[in-house]
Amino acid sequence: MHTPLSITHIASLSSLGSTPEEVWQSYVSGNPFFSEKHNVKVASVSKKVEREIEKLQNENHAYKNVDRSVLLALLAIRKGSVKSFLPSENVGVNMGSSRGATSLFEKYHGQFLAENKVSPFASPTTTAGNISSWVGQDLGIDGIAIDQSVTCSTAMHALLNAIAWLQASMADAFVVGGSEAALTPFTIAQMKALKLYSSSKNKLACESMNFQKKKNTMILGEGSAIAVLERGVSEKTKAVISGYGFASEILKHNSSISEDATCFQKSMKRALKNAQLQTVDVIVLHAPGTVKGDFAEKNAIDIVFSDALPLLTSNKWQLGHTFATSGMLSVEMAVLMLQQNKFLENPFFLNVKPLPKTLKTIMINAVGFGGNAVSIIISKP
């Protein structure tokens, strides 16, 4: 890292809540936050948030025609008071979604099949660039607005992109993150077709980091998570980005990674080298709750860290897999652990390493279909 980069603000909206206090209390409760929808377990936002989304739509008629993924992002930045944490100019936005305007696309496609015509809003409101554009407008930002989809590692790739822009002095701050609202019948059917979705009736239905499980246990969640990145370290700094790494691998199947997750091995090694570290205190795993995905990531960690295994944890057993948003929600979890100096355990994995007196460095992993792995290391300011 040429210039120190800081996370100066972070905001999220998920089944865990919509304020840092709510999110932290949900984490320490040790409970999953799942409900029933479309005959499966999902992780939805609360009824209170639903009312706030409705209020947002009533505030601006244009918001009645945008996708739920956009609305979740707009509500997250507002509830998180993101605008008040931004410099006055030279601010960029890089948001993304794995599935994009899922509910709107399904709605308009259904209309086309039934009536052989479609709404004039169909094209502009289902393009991939919707989230960053609307977020930028709501924040009053006139700088670069970038949207992308790198499946489940989308938000982490947004963070990587912001690092490059800030290091190149092409921006003074960047709003980065992801937003996903994919709890729709068609998306759930896709996950079922891949035989990834959990059929468990147990309370702990998503067995993220249960490395002995025999069945896939992924559960879908929805939400939006956003961070503000700036150059330097200041009184606003919540965490310092100490290192980053990324890698891809050639896949034999388009929905899996290799048995030893070579993409993760490379991304973690590059992040450690970039941070000039040999190890970290904690790793927040991607661990989606699938047999192959969880096991491959653990294999990669064992290979990279060998006998010096850090503390390991994950959060999808509580809030499900939020696709593009998941990496930034893991970053938020890591930031909260640093702030509270408290390690959040995973009920499916027994850490044998003793807890350090002070948590100083945390690595966050994310990967998506296509083997696009990202590893970010954050540290206490």
Domain harbouring 257, CATH code: 3.40.47.10
Query: ∠ CA(162), CA(166), CA(172), 5° rounding?
Result: 110
Query: Which parts of 248-372 are beta strand (E)?
Result: 282-284, 311-313, 361-366
What confidence tens digit (pLDDT) does each residue in 106-142 have? 999 999 999 999 999 999 999 877 899 999 999 999 9
Listed range (191-195, 223-227, 249-253, 308-312) with the worst mean pLDDT? 249-253
pLDDT at 253: 62
Query: In which domain, by residue range, is 277 found?
Result: 5-379
Residue 370: what pLDDT? 74
252 has a pLDDT exceeding 90: no
The more confident residue out of 369 and 27 is 27
Confidence of residue 255 (pLDDT cuts 50, 70, 90): low
Tokens of 158: 């947004």
Whether the predicted pLDDT of 250 surpasses 90: no
Q: Above 70 in pLDDT, residue 261? A: yes
CA 319 to each of CA 33, 146, 237: distance values in angstroms, whole numbers, following the listed order? 6, 27, 26
Q: What is the pLDDT of residue 61?
A: 86
Dump strand ranges (E) for the chain.
5-13, 35-37, 40-42, 91-96, 145-148, 173-180, 223-231, 239-247, 282-284, 311-313, 361-366, 373-379
Per-residue pLDDT tens for 47-83? Answer: 999 999 999 999 888 899 999 999 999 999 999 999 9
Q: What is the DSSP letter of 41?
A: E
Q: HEC profile for 288-313?
A: CCCHHHHHHHHHHHHHHHCCCCCEEE
- % the chain with pLDDT above 90: 90
Q: Please report, rounded to a whole number, the percentage of residues in the chain having pLDDT higher than 70.
A: 98
Instruction: With cut-offs at 50, 70 and 90, classify the pLDDT of residue 2.
Output: confident
Based on the number of CB atoms within 10 Å of its own CB, is 36 exposed (0-12), middle (13-18) or buried (19 or more)? exposed
- Whole-model pTM? 0.97
Average pLDDT of the chain?
95
Query: In this structure, what are the phi and psi dihedrals at residue 276, rounded to the nearest 5 degrees?
Result: 55, 45
The number of folded domains in the chain is 1
Whole-Å CA distances, 189 to 22, 104, 194:
31, 17, 9
pLDDT of residue 251: 73
